[in-house]
Chain A
């Protein structure tokens, strides 16, 4: 938002020749130009095209061609057909977010406040999995959770899992995969916030009769809010649109909306449906994000 505001309004250059001041005023826009052109060509145009495709006549096909009939009915149709996958996407992403917060907040706090000279090493450990591909990491989980794997064997032996129970191809595996894959996106912004937290403020809080729990609620948590909000968004948005985890670790019963879109475009070749689903997903995520930001109320993020 502030990106587009004309700069320099507050500090006019000292008595410049007209041409130079003109050029100077243009400079920010010139700097924006490459990025803006990139966005226009590779994001703006396809977005418009996708919007158009979502309104094509659904009876068309790739071979016979599509007719633009402003078929708004595509939207209610896909909602009716795929609302379980929509709900599942947000449900799984939400569950994964809760798990990630339980794992990630203490982790970020420990690295930021208690790790001392191990801080950098631990940060590298958080990021290290990203050095390999997302796909490879998810496939690795497939091996770990497999029916013949050591983990399932152990769980069966201690009767935490029924003799024929399995981990792979369950909602548990999908949520676990989402949690694991997107955890760094939550931890890093949280770490950045908590690293700036002055431990003397916590001393002041305890000096002013706050128990450790109260000090956390009244001081640590509010001061880590910017990182928490940024981290949860960075986690939740890609997690709810993800399809790799459901594809590799789940079955069609665990399919999320990403899988439906994937198959609409690549398997069923139903472009109007795929486009309508994509737009709905985007709208739903935007609605969730704005609702969340309004409630969390941090000016720093927007």
Chain B
């Protein structure tokens, strides 16, 4: 049966799903390497869950292909696919014991002796001895692990995780993130993880795809995406960015010159996604350093001046808001490492940065400065 065929990469080719006039997934193409931990990251309604459901077979694509190796599984019934899902609601069978829940997939495929496998699986998710209980007798975290064991026991070629940690509290979530990553490394199965929690995606995944409005905005290793986002959406969805509206005036000598709010800046050509026309000049808040006056800015750095309008002390860092001359409030995160003095509220200050840390993105002509982050959704929100 399916598990005998050589496993391969999971490829989505021109995958589209429309519900009436609404396009949930818009001509999506991507390749998920075999054995990798892949995260689909996006706000609710961006099409990430629909994508997952099309891979699982719970939703039929309007057009396009889902290829596993070189086999198109897009039109196979869900029970004929070598793919299993960990559902957001867990969807454990309330009338069956934990043992029978985990054994469900094996039994449906006519495998008789399931005891060893189930016991092994329960101990992998650290639920030894829980076999006789009912799902209702378990805590949320334990139920989550049963759902994982129930899917993993089938040794699918691809394991789909639909916001599996959404219903857990923060501490348990962190713990399960590490746990999931450990299990993935151990079993070596391709994991496709859907989440709206950027930190969760960055912690666990090898590759992250940021989705917005049914399309992929950027795909890559978490650090690459964070350090050099491709669009303004990504820059503010994955972490936070200060994006200043400016005009690029062309590249010269490895740098792109930008004029923003009357000041000239430059960005290395390698960190520019546009070299003329309207652009966003972006710097991450933690890459900005706050000093009292312009003469403290080291050579080769660029700066803006402003007034500190807010300072929130959050333990590991202090988060400042710096209101610039043209009214935009920039975020500045200063690590509380004890090496620099705190800046007083209401005082004039200068924020400087190394041009190597800045990035340049194309901008719609009508777009202005963007500094506020995309607000995190409440925990447990579905998409």
Instruction: Give 1 or 0 for each of A193-217: 1 = CB within 8 Å of chain B CB.
Output: 0000010110111111111001000
Q: State the Cβ distance, A200 to closest chain B Cβ, in Å.
A: 5
Q: Say yes or no: A222 contacts B58, CB within 8 Å.
A: no
Number of A-B contacts (CB under 8 A): 59
Q: Is the CB of B58 within 8 A of A207?
A: yes
Q: How far is the CA of A218 from the CA of B95 in the complex (A)?
A: 10
Question: Knowing A206-B78, A207-B56, A207-B84 touch, does A201 contact B91 (C-beta < 8 A)?
Answer: yes
Residue B94 CB within 8 A of the other chain:
yes
A254 shortest CB reach to chain B, Å = 41
Chain A residues positioned under 8 Å from B79 (CB to CB): 206-211
Query: Could you tell me which residues of chain A, from 215 to 233, have a CB within 8 Å of some CB in chain B?
Result: 218-219, 222-223
Check A208/B89 contact, CB under 8 A, given A203-B58, A214-B108, A222-B95.
no
In the complex, which residues of chain A have a beta carbon less than 8 angstroms from the beta carbon of B77?
Answer: 206
Asked whether B87 lies within 8 Å of A209 as measured between CB atoms, the reply is: no
Instruction: Check A209–B109 contact: CB distance below 8 A.
Output: yes
User: Which B residue sits closest to A207, measured CB to CB?
Assistant: B85
Provide the residues of chain B in CB contact with A208, threshold 8 Å. 79, 84, 104-105, 108, 150-151, 154
- Considering the chains assembled together, what is the distance between the CA atoms of A210 and B101 in angstroms? 13
Q: Is the CB of A204 within 8 A of B87?
A: yes
Bound CA–CA A222/B101 (angstroms): 14
- Docked Cα-Cα span, A208 to B100, in Å, equals 12
**Beyond A206-B79, A208-B154, is A201–B93 a contact (Cβ under 8 Å)?**
yes
- Cα–Cα, bound, A93→B376 (Å): 61
Q: A198-B91, A223-B94 known; A209 and B105 CB under 8 Å?
A: yes
Q: Is the CB of B108 within 8 A of A204?
A: no
A201 to B95, CA, bound (A): 11
CA distance A198 to B87 in the complex (A): 13
List, in ascending order, chain B residues with CB within 8 A of A214's CB.
108
Residue of B nearest to A199 (CB): B91
In the complex, the chain B residue whose C-beta lies closest to that of A209 is: B108
Residues of A within 8 Å of B93, CB to CB, are 201, 204-205, 218-219
Quick check: B91 and A210 within 8 Å, CB to CB?
no
Chain A: interface residue count, which band?
10 to 19
Task: Select which of A203, A209, A210, A223 is within 8 A of B95 by beta carbon.
Answer: A223
Closest chain B CB from A198 CB (angstroms): 7
Which residues of chain B come closer than 8 Å to A219, judged between CB atoms?
93
Residue numbers in B under 8 Å from A201 (CB-CB): 91, 93-94
Contact with B along A178-193 (1 / 0, CB 8 A): 0000000000000000
User: Pick the contact of A205 from B57, B104, B154 — CB < 8 Å?
Assistant: B104
Chain B residues, CB < 8 A from A198: 89, 91
Residue of B nearest to A198 (CB): B91
> Could you say which residues of chain B place their CB within 8 Å of the CB of A209?
79, 105, 108-109, 154
Give B58's nearest chain A residue, CB to CB: A203
Contacts of A210 in B (CB 8 A): 79, 104, 108
- CB-nearest residue of chain A relative to B84? A207
A-facing mask of B33-61, CB < 8 A → 1, else 0?
00000000000000000000000111000
Q: How far is the CB of B137 from chain A (nearest CB, A)?
A: 15
Flag if A200 contacts B108 (CB, 8 Å): no
- Residue of A whose beta carbon sits closest to that of B56: A207
Chain B residue numbers with a CB within 8 Å of A207 are 56-58, 78-79, 83-85, 151
Q: Of B91, B105, B108, B154, which contacts A203 at CB under 8 A? A: B91
Q: Which of B84-126 contact A (CB under 8 A)?
A: 84-85, 87, 89, 91-95, 104-105, 108-109
Shortest A223–chain B CB gap in Å is 6
CB distance from A219 to the nearest CB of B (A): 6
User: B83 — which chain A residues lie within 8 A by C-beta?
Assistant: 207
Bound CA span A208–B79, Å: 6
A291 to B310, CA, bound (A): 75
Residues of B within 8 A of A223 (CB): 94-95
Query: What A residues does B154 contact at CB under 8 A?
Result: 208-209
Complex: chain A residue closest to B147, CB-CB: A204
Q: Determine whether the beta carbon of B89 is less than 8 Å from that of A200.
A: yes
Whole-angstrom distance between the alpha carbons of A198 and B56 in the complex? Answer: 18
Closest chain-B Cβ to A35's Cβ sits at a distance in Å of: 33
For residue A212, give the distance in angstroms from its CB to the closest CB of chain B: 8
Instruction: Please list 9 pairs of residues, one from A and one from B, whose beta carbons are closer than 8 Å in the complex, sorted by A's number.
Output: A200-B91, A203-B87, A208-B84, A208-B105, A208-B108, A209-B108, A211-B108, A214-B108, A219-B93
Using CB atoms and an 8 Å cutoff, list the residues of chain A in contact with chain B: 198, 200-201, 203-211, 214, 218-219, 222-223
Q: 3 smallest A-B Cβ distances: which pairs?
A: A204-B91, A208-B105, A209-B108
> Interface of B with A (CB < 8 Å)?
56-58, 77-79, 83-85, 87, 89, 91-95, 104-105, 108-109, 150-151, 154
12 more A-B residue pairs beyond the given contacts A198-B91, A209-B105, with a C-beta to C-beta distance below 8 A: A200-B87, A201-B91, A203-B91, A204-B93, A205-B93, A205-B104, A206-B78, A207-B85, A208-B150, A214-B108, A219-B93, A222-B95
